[in-house]
A and B are shown apart, each in its own frame.
Chain A
Amino acid sequence: MNILVCIKQVPDMESKFKVNSGGTWYDTTELAWRMNEYDEYAVEQAVQLKEQVKDADITVLSIGSNKVKETMKKALAMGCDRGAHIADDNVSSKEPCEIAGAIAEYAKDKNFEVIFTGMQSQDRGSGQVGVLVAEMLSLPAVTTIVDFSYTDGRLEVKRELEGGIKAKVALNSPALVTCQLGLNTPRYPTLPNIMKAKKKELVSLPIEDLLKVDARQQTAKIYFPEKKGGGLVIEGDPGELADKLIQILKEKTGVLA
């Protein structure tokens, strides 16, 4: 069974962001990078599926500059078998349609039985790429899954809806699912597996060979939102801060009365 898992490298969301010189994306220098959180669940579910069916081969795919290979190595250390790096130094200007188009073009003749993606990226957050890949490949897709099981070509999954309700659905492979946080517990790569991952295949393909869909939108401008809150910011020694806060709560709320 061939399995594909698509991952993205994103900045740590606690980072101090700056706008780049063109004003169309965040400045990508001086940031700490990691695997998109949703994709960690996708990788884990792919590896668990392989552990279940035994005879499987997992390809991890990522699009970006050479830097994204670091994140791909983590996926290989978690248990993916090979890496397909789609080399693109200008990935942040690509819209979801172009990204999905490149993935679909890569995947179309490789007989993937199940494709896993995160439900969205933490930086752009469009939530479109997974569904678009499925539509382009005419595969059934289920988004935002929080439970996954596979038996003989049949997937039974739970979709997370609003307010804690879940929808149970079934579909036949080949299929695509987009993974929500909490789907499983992503494993930490062990040292021996990190060493093994260094020897796994990791090929780079130029994005130009796979780019078949034109952009339908662009970023005109990126900027910091106006601070609308007139909220009070207090700093200092914990004891003094506590006194200050208690005073505010007494004045502004009824809870300490």
Chain B
Amino acid sequence: MKLLLVAEYREGSVLGSVTDLLGFAEKVGGEHVMFLVGSDSILPQYDGKLYLADSAKHGEYSPTVHKELLLEVVGRENPDMIVFSHSSYGWDLAPRVAWALKAAQVSEVVNYVDGTLVVPVCNAKLRRDVQVNTRITVVTLQAGAFGLNGLPSGSPAVEMIDVDSAGKVEFLGYEEAEAGGVDLSKAEVIVSAGRGIGKPENIEMISALAKALGGEYGASRPVVDSEWAEHSRQVGTTGQTVAPKLYVACGISGAIQHLAGMKKSEFVVAINTDKDAPIGEVADVLVVADLTQFIPVLTEKISSL
């Protein structure tokens, strides 16, 4: 088995997802090479061959150009599997590469068991084993699903690659995350509100519990999208990644993107009416209760300790 690992580079850094790629490669076994559109002055820690294209020429993201660069490497290396992160870069580029190669693409892989790729279904409530019929397989990996034993190390043997190609999508610039707001990464206790709180007025109840516990309140993506809480309070892949001493998830089902942002918390309490919600997978304690009945009682008891 030969793998082609697709690393990512953005605004002067190689993204940390390279450890996921290496963790997957370790699990699968066999040989591997890496591909990156980045800079020769900022290389990933990697003890192998790196095909590098210059992002100053090819853009940090230009779908058609990056696809053609990758196809050039595929032509030289003839890999069995092309491995992306399931990220904004990976889920955009992988299907383009798969289609060009007439390869099957398996998205958001969470496990690899005896040669079988495993993916989540229905918000991770179910799992699916996938059988692939093509010689080359394209996969995207769920963030954090494949840990690496130890840290990546070594210096890659770099081979520069280049294509003459122009994309149809013009990159105009980045818009940075909103500055200011709450820095949840410093809070020792975070009480987060999910869609299960039902209505915006109930944010008050979550905020009161957070205050009673000496912490801050956070929110899941749907709550922020509905503008019940500001973006700086969002926990998850597209918000903040937190690791407080105590994380209390209120009415949060536990979408993968949310779990990725809070699963390193030291102690997790979930308060939910649905016993089967995926948040139960990471919770130390699951309180099965109606939020509006339980939380005010809990807040009052804590306040009077």
Contacts and interface: CB of A to CB of B under 8 A. Distances in A.
Interface residues of A, number: 79
Nearest to A254: B245
Nearest to A255: B246
A160 B123 CA distance: 20
B301 to A, nearest CB: 5
Interface string B283-295: 1111111100110
A172 interface: yes
Contact of B175 (A140, A166, A215): A166
Interface in B108-131: 108, 116, 119-131
Interface string B166-185: 01111111111110000000
B246 A253 contact: yes
A135 B99 contact: yes
Given A167-B171, A171-B168, A218-B131, A253 B266 contact: yes
Nearest to B132: A217
Contacts of A124: 121
B91 interface: yes
Given A125-B120, A217-B131, A231-B284, A14 B177 contact: no
B280 A222 contact: no
A16 B98 CA distance: 34
B286 A243 contact: no
22 contacts: A127-B140, A131-B96, A135-B95, A141-B63, A141-B169, A158-B175, A165-B10, A165-B175, A166-B175, A168-B173, A170-B169, A182-B221, A218-B131, A221-B129, A224-B126, A229-B282, A234-B285, A234-B288, A235-B287, A241-B294, A255-B213, A256-B305
Interface of B: 10, 15, 61, 63-64, 86-88, 91-92, 94-96, 98-100, 102-108, 116, 119-134, 140, 167-178, 188-189, 213-215, 221-222, 224-225, 231, 234, 237-239, 245-246, 253, 266-267, 269, 274-276, 280-290, 293-294, 297-298, 301-302, 305
